[in-house]
């Protein structure tokens, strides 16, 4: 379950042998401006599910980003956007 109260958490990352600080959904969703940056072609399917979902699609984690502000920008590389339909509005 996603963190509901803390704004930042420290997660242990075994392959890095270190802690990683993670901004939580309460912090992100309280922002006035949110920038979503995707550069990895391995995330292309999740980008499509978030921006052009089909009825049978399971919502990706990014769907939990629902900021109170009105400014949400998606910044995608061509590989990250490769699954999007070109004819979509």
pLDDT value at position 88? 56
Report the C-alpha gap between 46 and 83 in whole angstroms.
9
Q: Which of 8, 27, 31 is nearest to 19 (CA)?
A: 8
Tell me, what's the pLDDT at 68? Answer: 81
**How much is the pLDDT for 10?**
93
CB contact set of 77 (below 8 Å; sequence gap of 6+): 38, 39, 41
- Name the helix (H) or strand (E) containing 47: helix 44-51
Write down the domain spans for the chain. Answer: 1-30, 33-89
pLDDT number for residue 79: 96
Residue 8 β-bridge partners: 23
Consecutive sets of 10 residues in the chain, 89 residues long: mean pLDDT of each? Answer: 82 94 91 92 92 87 83 94 82
């Amino acid at each position: 379950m996603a963190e509901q109260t803390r704004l930042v958490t420290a997660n242990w990352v075994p392959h890095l042998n270190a802690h990683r600080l993670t901004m939580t959904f309460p912090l992100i969703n309280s922002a006035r401006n949110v920038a979503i940056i995707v550069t990895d072609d391995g995330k292309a399917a999740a980008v499509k599910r978030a921006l052009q979902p089909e009825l049978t699609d399971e919502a990706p984690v990014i769907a939990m980003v629902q900021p109170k502000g009105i400014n949400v920008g998606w910044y995608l590389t061509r590989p990250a956007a490769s699954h999007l339909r070109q004819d979509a509005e």
